[in-house]
Amino acid sequence: MNEQVRRQPDGCRRALSEAYDTALLDLDGVVYAGGQAIAHAVESLTTARDGGMHLAYVTNNAARTPQAVAGQLTGFGLPTGAEDVITSAQAVARLISEQVPAGARVLAIGGEGLLVALRERGLEPVTSADDDPAAVVQGFDPALDWTRLAEAAYAVQRGVPWFASNTDLTIPKERGIAPGNGALVEAVRIAAGGSPQVAGKPQPPMHRETVLRTGARRPLVIGDRLDTDIEGAVNGGVDSLLVLTGVTTPAALLAATPPHRPAYVDADLRGLLTPQPEVSADGDGFRCGGWRAEASGDSLAVTGEGAPLDGLRALCAAAWTAAGDGSCAADAGKALARIGM
C-alpha cells in the first residue's frame, strides 16, 4: 500500500486546529480570491485562532508588502500583523543577499512588495539592465509592462544571475484564473534562455523563510495548489491540507503524483475545525464514511453513499495505490459523478 495512504496523522482523530500548532496558509484561492474573502474562510480561521492555533499567511504573490496583505486580512475581519505574513519576495531577497555583495544593485521586475524586501536585505533595486546590476529578479506585478520584461531579458542575455520569487503560472482572481508570475518568467525565458533560481513554493528557500519567521514546531500547510502548496509541504516534511476553493479540481487530485499528495482534503477552511475521517483498507479497496472505492486496471469504481468528500478521499486512496509512483491513469469521470463531484 502507498505509504502516504497508509499513514494516518494524529490530526485525523482531532480537529486539525487542535492537532497542529501553526497553520501556514496560502492566500490566493484559500483565504481570498482577488479582493473578496472566500466563503467560510474568516469564520473558520477566527475559530481556529481563538482555540489557540497560530495563523501565518504564506504567499507566493510578491507584489504587495506584508503590511499591505495584513491590512487586507484585517479588513476582512482577521486581525493580522505584518509579522504574520511571509512572502516569496522575502524569500527571494534573502536568497539573493546570500549570493551578491552587501549593497549590490538588483534589477527588480516586480511590485512594491519585491522592492521593500530587497531593501530590507540591504540591496538596491534598479530599473535598467544598463545600471550594472549584480542580479535580476522577477516578482508578480499586475501593472507590469513590456518594457520592464525587456530589461530583464537584456540582463539575462548578458549573463546576470537570474532569480524569480515564484513560478506559479496562474493566479485566482474574482473573475477567474489569470496569468501568474510564472507566465511572465516564461516570457523572459523565451527571449533570453536559461532558468532562474526560484525561491517561492515549492522550493526550499520559501520553507526556510517560513520556519525562520514563524518558529512553527508542528505546522500544517494549507493550500489550493498541488504543485506549489502541497509539493512545498512534502519537500519540507510537513503535513498539508488541500482545500478545493482554488485551482485544483477533484480529477486533478486523483491524478496527483507522490510529491503532490496532501495528507488531508476538504471543501474549504471549515475542514480545520473537524477531525478528518479515516481512510481504511477494505479488501482490494478503500473505505471512507459510507463509500468504498477500488481501482481495477485503468478504471475506478465506487459504491455506497454519503458525503461526497468521503467518496473523494476513498477514491484518492484507491487511485494513488494503483498508480504507485506515477499519476493515476484511470478514467475517473464516472466515479466522480457517482459521488456527486
Q: At a CB cut-off of 8 Å and minimum separation 6, what does 75 contact?
A: none
Mode of pairing for the β-strands spanning 124-126 and 135-138: unpaired
Q: In whole angstroms, give the CA distance from residue 126 to residue 118.
A: 11
| Residue 133 grid coordinates | 546590476
- Phi/psi at 178 (5° precision): -115, 165
Helix (H, G, I), strand (E, B) or coil at 293: strand
Please check whether residue 61 is in contact with residue 33, taking contact to mean a CB–CB distance below 8 angstroms.
no
Residues facing residue 257 across a β-bridge: none
Q: 283-295 as b/e, with b when 16 or more CB fall inside 10 Å?
A: eebbbbbebbbbb
Q: Which residues are known catalytic residues?
A: 26, 28
| Residue 18 grid coordinates | 487542535
How do the residues of the chain divide into helix, strand and coil, expressed in percent and rounded to 5? 40, 20, 35
